[in-house]
Amino acid sequence: MTRLCGMEHNTRYYYRQQMDSLQAVGYENSTTFMEYKVPELRMHFPFAYGDTLFSYFEGTGEYSHFLPLAVKGYTRIMADAEGDIKLPEFETVKKALRIRTLRHYTETGKDSLEMTLDTYSWYAKGIRYPVFESIKTTLSKKGDTKDENGESMKDTTVFSTSFFYPPELQTSQVQTDSVAADKPDIKQDAASVFTEAQLMPNPVLTDLTINYNLTRAAKVWFTVHNNTGIGLCQTAPQNLSEGYNSSTVPMGNLITGVYSLYVHVDDMVMRLNVVKK
């Protein structure tokens, strides 16, 4: 048995490799600690077109070293498609494998919420990370939940995004090193570029306004994550000029609680806290 860990969205995830299976056993970040009493099966080797995995998972932890948290649910992983995919530069990846991961869970703490995380990932042979990935997070509404007009509330998509990670960037470090060498004057710290931030209002009821100053031109966007690191909201990336700018993040469909607001500045990230009332 081998223990592994990985970092994503400023969260450290813990895994256990046992024989031919990879299991998730917990995670932690600056606000949340979670340990799975029943591990979550994440992958089985080998895994080919037509294969399916299913597992239940259950865990307990705490938020801010104070509030008890509990999570339980199931994960279904399916290799549901195989074929050639064309990349933006008209290159073709042969025999790419598409894997769909459907993760449905209930999290109980100060509030209780039911979520579904639906992910499609396209893998190229010999490449560790997916070339394409599409993610959608849905907040489930129970049938007896009513809105202010007395009508039954429907499931709500609270976050969706996609990523493209070219194979050549995964197999070579040359381009990354070259970019860093060509731009020695650019500070590799988001806080040195994104300054004088004001979150208004905080606590927020519907729309969060962010006023800030950029010390240089940069591409900026924002994502909102819950205390388990799941993304719930994302703004469109904007190429902004140096100086004072303002952005709006819609948060009206989120439940009451404390959220992490991630500020993306080019390829750098910093985190702020925002309270939803």
| CATH 2.60.40.2550 assigned to 187-276 | yes
Contact in structure between 2 and 19 (CB atoms under 8 Å): no
- Predicted pLDDT of residue 187: 41
Determine the length of the chain.
Answer: 277
Pair type for strands 257-265 and 218-225: antiparallel
For residue 253, the number of C-alpha atoms closer than 13 Å in the C-beta half-sphere is: 18
Domain ranges of the chain: 2-171, 187-276
- Torsion sign (Cα): 81, 87, 90, 96: negative
CA 179 to each of CA 174, 176, 201, 219, 268: distance values in angstroms, whole numbers, following the listed order: 9, 5, 38, 16, 14
Question: How far apart are alpha carbons 56 and 38 in whole angstroms?
Answer: 7
pLDDT of residue 172: 45
Burial of residue 144, with CB atoms counted within 10 A of its CB: 0-12 exposed, 13-18 middle, 19 or more buried: exposed
For residue 221, the model assigns a pLDDT of 92
How high is the mean pLDDT in each 10-residue block of the chain (277 residues)? Answer: 63 86 88 91 90 95 86 95 81 87 88 88 84 87 54 70 75 38 49 91 92 94 80 87 94 85 88 88
Predicted local confidence at residue 9, as pLDDT: 62
* pTM across the whole model: 0.61
What's residue 109's pLDDT?
77
Q: Which residues contact 218 (CB under 8 A, 6 or more apart)?
A: 193, 194, 239, 240, 265, 266
Supply the pLDDT for residue 90. 64
Measured CA distances, 44 to 17, 23, 52, 173, 276 (Å): 10, 9, 9, 29, 39
Per-residue three-class SS string for 3-49: EEEEEECCEEEEEEEECCEEEEEEEECCCEEEEEEEEEEEEECCCCC
- CA dist 74 and 232 (Å) reads 20
Query: How confident is the model at residue 142, as a pLDDT?
Result: 61
